[in-house]
Amino acid sequence: MSPRRLTKRNVAAVIVAITVLLATGVLEGLFDRAFGPEAWGARFENVAAGVGDVVDVDGVRASVLSVESAYRLREVSDELVANGIFVIVRLRGEFPAAGRTNIGELAVLSADGIPTERVAGLPPQVSTGFWEESTVAFDVDPDRLTGLRLTIAQREVTFRYRTRAVVDLAIDERRAAEFRAMPTEHVHDVAETETGALP
């Protein structure tokens, strides 16, 4: 087999692969997520919610039960110390629809749009027909607590998300000051989960 024919075959394979990726939206999704903290959010239908509200996120019913703060976390046997301050969110996920058994995408957004990914705890993830409550934590800049929002979305293979809950965590200036005043020696345990069957 000549090198020239091998090169043509490789080029053809690359062209086919790129075409398939473009057709499925993978490259488009990756491009959207790569540029700017909110660039990938343009594909969402954002649904505003508050603490205690139940929101349907593509087949999962999700809600924020409580919001706390700490400078130290315990996750199983590990103890973590915040670079800034931990914002700790207690979540409930209900999974009535077949094929949906977790909440895949969680982040907090500051009032100026800076995202922070989860650093500890796992979002609810159980079998269809069950609910779970769990705790997740985010290491946030203490100066960006006011107006903090939690985003909840489903992960898909092609990154073509549909619905994103944007939950106002009700942190005003007074609450932010209370969070920052949390004793530094206090250790918050994020390992505990609760699970049950849906009625």
pLDDT digits (tens, 9 = 90+) for 86-113: 999 999 999 997 777 888 789 999 999 9
pLDDT tens by residue, 16-38 = 777 766 555 555 555 555 444 44
Q: Distance (Å, rounded) from C-alpha 169 to C-alpha 145?
A: 10
- Tell whether pTM > 0.75: yes
C-alpha 117/C-alpha 50 separation (Å) is 20
